[in-house]
């Protein structure tokens, strides 16, 4: 078959969707005779009738209905391929709305996003720093940075960086109150409570939440860290808060065998067939930028 296998496909789909040769020709910007000629040639190549023609309306044959479904998928795939290649060279532009937790966003994400904007002057950014998990679809957000374990399966996730939780205390606290050697001993210690009094722990390969008690509470990771450094109690915090203090000896890691397995820092975005250049390039930029941070270097 020497003819171009794509010839007649667009004309056929247009006629099938418009139910008229004239309307299909207007949609494609060609003459009605051209549309009719292409479909006749298509039917000859397929050796089957696709359309029933009348003076007022065009309807599909059974073969035409089957063929239409396949042709529409072919068109979608073709457009998807063209967009994917075009986006490789297109610059991010327009508005990008995103969200992240307050403390992590201020320290890690916002500085990187600001650097990213400097590379793409046509881009506008709206960042909502909130410790509430905003609904991306309902709030009209393009991207969310989430910490820990994921729960919303409606979203597509890309891992940006590792995240490990540490249970620790200052040497002065351990010297004064002793070091816990089992999970049951946590109830004897003053636990510094942050945004939740449930600590994530592991025992015998099973992760679970344990409720802790203490005389100090604040919904700020930095405040919890400061209290732990002053010897007020035990804390459980992510690696980026405590690693430098563990290295210097200002904090001691406790119950290492019961620390929960590594979680992660995630970029989440709504499910869609093709990710926009601004979101895709920002996600890649954040992943590379976080890898350069000393907190994430092994």
Q: Domain 9-85 belongs to what architecture?
A: Orthogonal Bundle (1.10)
DSSP state of 187: G
Domains 9-85 and 165-258 belong to one CATH topology: no
Residue from 46, 87, 89, 44 nearest 68 by CA:
46
| 226: exposed, middle or buried (Cβ count in 10 Å: 0-12, 13-18, 19+) | middle
d(CA 209, CA 189): 17
What is the fold, at CATH topology level, of the domain defined by 94-161+263-296? D-Maltodextrin-Binding Protein; domain 2 (3.40.190)
Give CA 122 to chain center in angstroms: 23
Per domain, the residue ranges of the chain are: 9-85, 94-161+263-296, 165-258
Q: Measured between alpha carbons, how far is 264 from 259 in angstroms, rounded to an integer?
A: 14
What residues pair up with 97 in beta bridges, in sequence order? 126
Domain 165-258, CATH? 3.40.190.290
What is the pLDDT tens value at each position of the chain, 298 positions in all? Answer: 445 677 889 999 999 989 889 889 998 999 999 999 999 999 999 999 999 988 778 899 999 999 999 988 888 777 767 766 665 556 788 899 999 999 899 999 999 999 999 999 899 999 999 988 888 888 889 999 999 877 766 788 899 999 999 999 999 999 999 999 999 999 999 999 998 899 999 988 888 889 999 999 998 999 999 999 999 999 999 998 999 999 999 999 999 999 887 789 999 988 765 578 899 999 999 999 999 988 877 5
Q: Which helix (H) or strand (E) holds 241?
A: helix 239-248
């Amino acid at each position: 078959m020497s003819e171009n296998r794509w010839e007649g496909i667009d004309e056929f789909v247009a006629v099938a969707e418009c139910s008229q040769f004239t309307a299909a020709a207007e949609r494609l910007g060609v003459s009605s005779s051209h549309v009719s000629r292409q479909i006749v040639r298509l039917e000859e190549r397929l050796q089957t009738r696709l359309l029933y023609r009348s003076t007022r309306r065009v309807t599909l044959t059974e073969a035409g209905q089957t063929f239409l479904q396949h042709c529409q998928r072919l068109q979608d795939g073709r457009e998807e391929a063209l967009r994917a290649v075009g986006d490789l060279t297109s610059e991010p532009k327009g508005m990008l709305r995103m969200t992240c937790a307050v403390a992590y966003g201020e320290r890690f994400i916002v500085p990187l996003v600001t650097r990213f904007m400097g590379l793409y002057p046509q881009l506008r950014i709206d960042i909502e720093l909130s410790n509430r998990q905003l609904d991306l679809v309902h709030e009209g957000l393009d991207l969310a940075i989430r910490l820990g374990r994921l729960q919303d399966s409606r979203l597509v996730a890309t891992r940006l960086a590792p995240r490990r939780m540490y249970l620790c205390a200052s040497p002065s606290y351990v010297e004064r109150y002793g070091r816990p050697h089992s999970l049951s001993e946590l109830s004897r210690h003053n636990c510094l409570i942050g945004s939740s009094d449930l600590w994530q722990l592991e025992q015998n390969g099973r992760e679970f939440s344990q409720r802790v008690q203490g005389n100090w509470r604040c919904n700020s990771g930095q405040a919890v860290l400061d209290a732990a450094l002053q010897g007020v109690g035990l804390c459980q915090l992510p690696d980026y808060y405590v690693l430098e203090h563990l290295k210097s000896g200002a904090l001691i890691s406790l119950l290492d065998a019961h620390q929960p397995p590594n979680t992660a820092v995630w970029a989440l975005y709504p499910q869609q067939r093709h990710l926009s250049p601004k979101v895709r390039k920002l996600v890649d930029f954040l992943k590379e930028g976080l890898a350069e941070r000393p907190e994430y270097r092994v």
